[in-house]
């Protein structure tokens, strides 16, 4: 879901961190409903892990191969 949301941007590298955080929170709330309550923060583990995964998903494969990510 998050990758689809990022794909709506002309330049996914220009997404502001707080906007990315808000999108992650909306997705978290939808997926986990009231089962797992969590507030995503810019310095939190969930934000850090997902933002790193998003770099690998959004980045074109040749770039990943070239930089060895």
d(CA 21, CA 23): 5
d(CA 42, CA 58): 19
13 phi and psi angles, rounded to 5 deg: -80, -10
Q: pLDDT-based confidence at 54, cuts 50/70/90?
A: low
* pLDDT, position 57: 52
15-27 per-position pLDDT tens digit = 888 998 998 899 8
Q: Check if the beta carbon of residue 49 is closer than 8 Å to that of residue 26.
A: no
pLDDT above 70: percentage of residues in the chain: 72
Query: Is the pLDDT at 67 greater than 60, yes or no?
Result: no
């Amino acid at each position: 879901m998050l990758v689809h949301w990022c794909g709506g941007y002309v330049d996914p590298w220009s997404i502001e961190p707080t906007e990315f955080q808000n999108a992650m929170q909306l997705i978290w709330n939808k997926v986990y409903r009231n089962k797992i309550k969590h507030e995503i923060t810019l310095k939190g583990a969930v934000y850090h892990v997902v933002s790193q995964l998003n770099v690998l998903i959004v980045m074109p494969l040749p770039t990943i191969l070239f930089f060895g990510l």
